[in-house]
Amino acid sequence: MKIAVWDTYVTKKDGTIMHFDILVPEEIKDSNLIYSFGRKYLEMKSQAGQEISSKECTFCHTEIARPHWEEVIRKNGYFIVEMENCN
């Protein structure tokens, strides 16, 4: 499965920057849908209400999904790769 990687930087409630990637099937181009996946993730991280838009989240590149990512993407529609300050 080819996936699109959306590089995302969100300012957390404590002012630090949270960096994560939103991975979606390559054919998904609707940025509003992709931002909604980011908002769901932020809710799980107690960061609901933090801004996520084209300023914070941009398409980066495409690549081949790893098997675990593909499994989760097929189930949930997306996968989050935590990079920095995601705890």
Q: What is the pLDDT at residue 41?
A: 98
Give the pLDDT of residue 42. 98
Q: How confident is the model at residue 37 (pLDDT cuts 50, 70, 90)?
A: very high
pLDDT average, residue stretch 55-70: 95
Q: Enumerate domains of the chain plus CATH numbers.
A: 2-84 (3.10.510.10)
Q: Could you tell me which of 39, 17, 38 has the C-alpha nearest to residue 84?
A: 17
Q: Strand pairing partners for 5?
A: 23, 61
Find the mean pLDDT for residues 19-42: 97
Helices (H) and strands (E) in the chain, counts: 2, 4
- Residue appearing with tokens 């908002």: 39
* 6 neighbors 22 (Cβ within 8 angstroms): yes
Of 58, 57, 73, which Cα lies nearest the Cα of 24? 73
